[in-house]
Amino acid sequence: MSDLLEDRDAWSMANCSIARTLAVVGTKSALLIMREAFFGTRRFDDFARRVGIGEPATAARLKELTAAGLLERFPYREPGQRTRSAYRLTAKGRDLYPVIMALRQWGDTWATDEQGPPVIVRHRDCGAPVHAVLRCENGHDIAPGDSVVDAGPGLIRTDAESA
Amino acid sequence: MSDLLEDRDAWSMANCSIARTLAVVGTKSALLIMREAFFGTRRFDDFARRVGIGEPATAARLKELTAAGLLERFPYREPGQRTRSAYRLTAKGRDLYPVIMALRQWGDTWATDEQGPPVIVRHRDCGAPVHAVLRCENGHDIAPGDSVVDAGPGLIRTDAESA
DNA sequence: CACCTGGCTAATGCATACGAAAGCCAGCTA
DNA sequence: TAGCTGGCTTTCGTATGCATTAGCCAGGTG
């Protein structure tokens, strides 16, 4: 277990997972569309209205998120209406839930007004509030200082050295 | 415990914690600056080079993140050099760690090339990889479908109804 | 005191993100 | 077959994000 943090310049973040994630959901509107998707929104104009963005931006984001595989189009039909298309989360999209919850949690802690947070996400079974936490595979809770950065198989080293 | 999801139009997200968080770190460059801060970067030109953005963007982001209280300036001095200023995480900034880890985790799962992820974050004590997970206050693990949305003290209801 | 270095700032221009307003189109109802 | 409605698309204009290049400034060294 080498601590790469000791020589940050010996490796590059050209293939950084964080940057790659942001290439897909790196705009405010994309993340807010995903928020609404987790809240159950499925129809075009509901997305536009609830996120508070215009229709062109809504169409562009839905197209991108569908192309990236986070959402999928599906036909639906209400009684007495023609068949229409709507959007729902895929497994790839659902996997973004920790990101949305972590963003909500930070806002709840650091960016609410005096009234407190607008919504509380609770465990369906027991009713207790839900938090985004960091945990290692052995079950230990992790604080920011408790982690080290190790080389992964895709690491790109720079000329400097390879230790 | 009312499930607000049943009538999403009865309440507004005008004071949404997610949107408020994105008002602070809602750009790619801001989140990548925070990534580097967690990796230990502190100096202006290291941020610019490692994030891969120009100096004006670096200066703007660092100024915004400092004004928002996620980073703080502090003087430092290397031997034989004049006193300079650098940036380090505050408690408010450190609290963003779950967001960064959740973004990394999604990219590791869904957006790596065949080689695998570039870095692996491990628990310092036991060496096991770290994951961002959702957990309720009673200690239960939460999957996306296991949660419900309840009204918080800051909820804004729309005219429609107030149940 | 001239020079060097790190940490910025300024000027310019391009690309993307986005809103507002309008229009299009498919297919269900009347 | 004429409307109506939801789901877009088009157009236009503005705002933000960002790179590039250049320059400034403070304070240490020679």
Residues in Cβ contact with A131 at an 8 Å cutoff, skipping those fewer than 6 apart: A101, A105, B134, B135, B136, B137
Q: What is the mean pLDDT of chain A?
A: 89
pTM exceeds cut of 0.85 = yes
| pLDDT band, very low/low/confident/very high, at A11 (cuts 50, 70, 90) | confident
Residue A65 and residue A34 in contact, taking contact as beta carbons nearer than 8 Å: yes
Q: Tell me if A102 and B99 make a contact (CB, 8 A cut-off).
A: yes
> A34 is written with which tokens?
């995903």
Give mean pLDDT, residues A10-39: 92
| pLDDT band, very low/low/confident/very high, at A159 (cuts 50, 70, 90) | low
In the predicted model, is pLDDT for residue B115 greater than 70?
yes
- Residues B9-52 pLDDT 10s: 888 888 899 999 999 999 999 999 999 999 999 999 899 999 99
CA A10 to chain CA centroid, Å, is: 29
Strand D-proximal residues, CB under 7 Å?
A: A 43-46, 55-56, 59, 62-63, 73, 81, 84-86; B 27-30, 52-57, 61, 80-83
Distance separating alpha carbons of residues A74 and A19, to the nearest angstrom: 30
Residue B150 and residue A120 in contact, taking contact as beta carbons nearer than 8 Å: yes
**A55-CA/C19-C1' distance, Å:** 9
Residues of A in contact with B13 (CB under 8 A): 35, 50-52, 118
Q: Tell me if A135 and B134 make a contact (CB, 8 A cut-off).
A: no
Q: Tell me if B131 and A134 make a contact (CB, 8 A cut-off).
A: yes
